[in-house]
Amino acid sequence: MEIGESLGIDMSLLIEFRDHMSAAKDLQLRHFPIFASRLRNIQQKMNNWRPQRFRELSVRPYRDPLAFYAFWFAVLIGFVSVAGLGATLAQTYAAFKGLQLQRRQQ
C-alpha cells in the first residue's frame, strides 16, 4: 500500500478491483485499467517474438506452435534425406569398387 501510494497509484482502485473484479473468468485488458498498456506491450512482444540466434530455435513460440513443429519436422526430413543421399553414394562407390575388383580377378 505504502509503495503504491508513494508512486502516485490510486490504491482504492486496486483494492476495488481485487475485491470485485478479479474473480472474473474471462479477463481482458480492460479489466486491468492500470497495467493495460504494459500488458498490451508484453502481449505484442510475445506475439511478434522471432528467434534471433540458433539456440533460440529450440524455444517454442507463444503463438502458432504448428509452425515450430513443422520446422523441426522439415529439419528431420532434411537430415534423413541428406543421410540417405550419403548412404546411396557410399553404396554406389562400394559397388563400383567391388565390380572393379571382380573384373581384375577374372
Position 38 in a domain:
yes
Burial of 31 by CB count in 10 Å (0-12 exposed, 13-18 middle, 19+ buried)? middle
Q: Is residue 25 part of a domain?
A: yes
Alpha helices in the chain (DSSP H): 2-6, 11-16, 36-47, 65-105
Mean pLDDT for the stretch of residues 9-26: 72
Classified as helix, coil or strand, 3 is helix
pTM of the model: 0.52
**Cα distances (angstroms) measured from residue 2 to each of 7, 15, 32, 101, 105:** 9, 13, 20, 90, 96
Contact 21, 13 (CB under 8 A): no
Interval 76-104: pLDDT, tens: 999 999 999 999 999 999 999 999 999 99
Check whether residue 41 and residue 82 sit in a common domain. no
Residue 100 is assigned to a structural domain of this protein: yes
Task: Establish if 54 belongs to a structural domain.
Answer: no
Asked whether residue 69 falls in the same domain as residue 102, the answer is: yes
Comparing CA positions, the residue from 20, 18, 19, 42 lying closest to residue 29 is 42
**Residue 73 covered by a domain:** yes
Same domain flag for 5 and 37: yes
**pLDDT, tens digit, 9 for 90 and up, residues 38-79:** 888 888 887 777 787 888 888 887 777 888 899 999 999 999
What is residue 13's predicted lDDT score, i.e. its pLDDT?
A: 82
DSSP state of 53: S
In a domain, 53, yes or no: no
Domain count, the chain: 2
Shared domain check, 71 and 42: no
Q: Can you tell me the distance from the alpha carbon of 5 to that of 82, in angstroms, rounded to the nearest whole number?
A: 64
Residue 57 belongs to a domain:
no
For residue 8, what are the domain limits? 1-48
